[in-house]
Structure 1
Amino acid sequence: MDPPDNPAVPALARMLITDEQFASVRGTVMDANPSMSEEMAGRIVDEGLKFVAACATHPGLGLAPSRIVDEGWHALLLHTAMYADLCDRLGGRFVHHYPGYDPTHYDPPILDRTRETIAELGWDADEELWGPPSDETLVSVAAKCQHAPECTIRPMPKPEWP
């Protein structure tokens, strides 16, 4: 995959923060999810970084994380100084978090649009971590959110049920 045109967006999302910062954020994910492997926690942080970059570089587009990716976003947010610097380097748009949980607000097109925006930045979304909110996911996470940040559609539209 070709590197993105935006100089603030490196070839790998993982490179948005230092190795030390990545390890600390990964540790935060593992602290909240004690049975999670280091490898899985790292994947979740990587996807959280992709999500924040997508929101920061595409404000108002209508993006949202999956429940699993939201866990990585939460861990990034807890590192406030690093997170503020990250948002600043991505264009100065602080990506705010508005917690809430209502599984009926799940709308697959929002996740599709988010994955497509991540691809526009030059990255592949980890499809296993971008699934619908359900109890039968790849990994169980502490985050109980399925919501949208300020850069998304508010309120999040409810899907039409058959």
Structure 2
Amino acid sequence: MATESIVLPTLGFDYLRAAKRSRGILADMSDAAIEDVALRYRRFLLLKAKNPTLPIAPTEIIDEMWHLHMLHPVAYANDCMALFGAILDHAPGFGSTDATRPALLRCFSRTAALWEAEFGEPYCVPGARFHNVIVCADEEEEDGGEPGKPGKPAPKPPAPKPPSAPAIFPSLSA
């Protein structure tokens, strides 16, 4: 762990302004607290970039910043493409059922271990609000893996076909 030499990704939107205008838990935080959340979120993004094949799970506060980032779709798309070469998916609700909760907890524990190894500090800040597990990950993972080891990524459903455009001028489409 060489925290001093780590280059974190930048965020392509004014997260301080966006947080203050939001209706979420970030809106009532001080500028310094929002800066801390943004730092944690940027570290989360770096962890994913360094571990692209592993599902990772955010803390509740990191998920708030992730949502705020996604609400700025051009910045989110540009930032993801620069960092990952693709859009980082978001699986809200992963872990909300009895069947998926063990996989989420395993994913969260693995994320915490990666965080501590990379940054030398706890993933969940002891005693801090909103620093716990939330039902969410960047992708779902099937249960069945050993604790601390990933299960198989859950199969993704095929993308729906876009509806065909209605014929505006039916007489011309023949």
- TM-score normalized by the length of structure 2: 0.60
Q: Percent identity?
A: 19
Q: Does 1:16 align with 2:16?
A: no
Deviations 1:9-50 (A, max 9, x none): xx3x3x6125x623234335x631243322222211221222
Which of 27, 31, 53 is the matching residue for 2:23?
A: 31
State how far apart, in whole Å, the 1-side matches of 2:32 and 2:144 are: 34
> Equivalents in 2 of 1:126, 1:27: separation in Å?
27
Which secondary structure state, in structure 2, belongs to the residue aligned with residue 90 of structure 1? Answer: helix
What is the count of residue pairs matched by the alignment? Answer: 137
Matched, 1:72 2:59: no
- Superposition deviation, residue 115 in structure 1: 0.6
Q: Does 1:61 align with 2:60?
A: no
Query: Which residue does the alignment assign to 2:82?
Result: 89
Asked whether the equivalents of residues 63 and 114 of structure 1 are also in contact (C-alpha less than 8 Å), the reply is no
What is the CA distance between 1:72 and its match in structure 2?
1.4
Give the letter aligned to residue 137 of structure 2: A
Structure 1 length-normalised TM: 0.63
Say whether 1:147 aligns with 2:154. no
Segments of 5+ residues of structure 1 without an aligned counterpart are 5-10
Q: Aligned residue for 2:163?
A: none
**Gap change, CA 1:156 and 1:49, over 3 Å in 2:** farther
Tell me how large the CA RMSD over aligned residues is.
3.5
Q: Distance in 2 between the 1:125 and 1:26 partners?
A: 27
Larger radius of gyration: 2
Higher relative contact order (CA 8 A, sep 6+): 1
Gapped regions of structure 2 (runs ≥ 5): 148-174
